[in-house]
Every structure is written in C-alpha cells, then in structure tokens.
Amino acid sequence: MPKCIACKEKWTWKQSMRSFVTFSRFISCPYCEKKQMFTSMTRISMLLLVFVPYITMPYVINDEVKSSAVAIGIAIYLLTLLLLLPFLMDFREIPKHLQKYAQK
C-alpha cells in the first residue's frame, strides 16, 4: 500500500483506488491533505500492466474457442490487477516547477 510522504500514514486500498480513478496528476493525502504525485515508475508500470493484454490480444486470437478463453483470461487478469494496483503505488514529493499547478 502507498504511504503518504508527509505524515507516513498508510493509505487504505479504497483510498488508493480513489486516487487512481480520478486520474488527476496530484493526489491529496486523506489524512493530512498534503498533495503528492505518483512516481514515474508507478505510472509506467500501471500503464504497462493495463495495456499489455490489449497489445498481445490480436496475436493470440485466431479461432473462436481460443478467443473466448483469452477474453476470460484478460477479464480475470484485469480484476486481479485492480485488486493489486494499490500495492504497486508509490508517491513522491511534487517537484518545484509543478507546484504552481498543484495549488488549485
């Protein structure tokens, strides 16, 4: 689970998911309201994990039986991913040149 960079409180799964689904660049801590952002590693790994099935899909689907199995596989994969995402999240301080955008 991600930890706040300011107060070091651990976020719950629900709080982490909420910060993820808003897709905002800056995330306020639910405890101390300190704004922070995901590390670039976090962003990259989340993007990769979500898009890899879509990229590989066209290559594995060549008949109907296979494609429905793949569809189920991907559904399970995405569901598991959703459950595990908060464990991959990591926050960092907002760099100085971005702080003016975080004020709002």
Mention every residue, 6+ apart, whose C-beta is less than 8 A from residue 16: 1, 2, 85, 86, 89
Is residue 1 at the binding interface for Zn ion, with CB under 5 A as the rule? no
CB of 54 to Zn ion, least distance (A): 35
Q: How many residues bind Zn ion (CB under 5 A)?
A: 7
Is residue 76 at the binding interface for Zn ion, with CB under 5 A as the rule? no
Is residue 29 at the binding interface for Zn ion, with CB under 5 A as the rule? yes
Asked if residues 3 and 91 have their Cβ atoms less than 8 Å apart, the reply is yes
- CA neighbor of 74 nearest in space, from 51, 50, 91, 53: 53
Is residue 89 at the binding interface for Zn ion, with CB under 5 A as the rule? no
Task: Indicate the residue among 15 and 85 with the shorter CB distance to Zn ion.
Answer: 15
Q: How far apart, in whole angstroms, are the C-alpha atoms of residue 88 and residue 24? A: 17
Binding residues for Zn ion, rule: CB under 5 A, are: 4, 6-7, 29, 31-32, 34
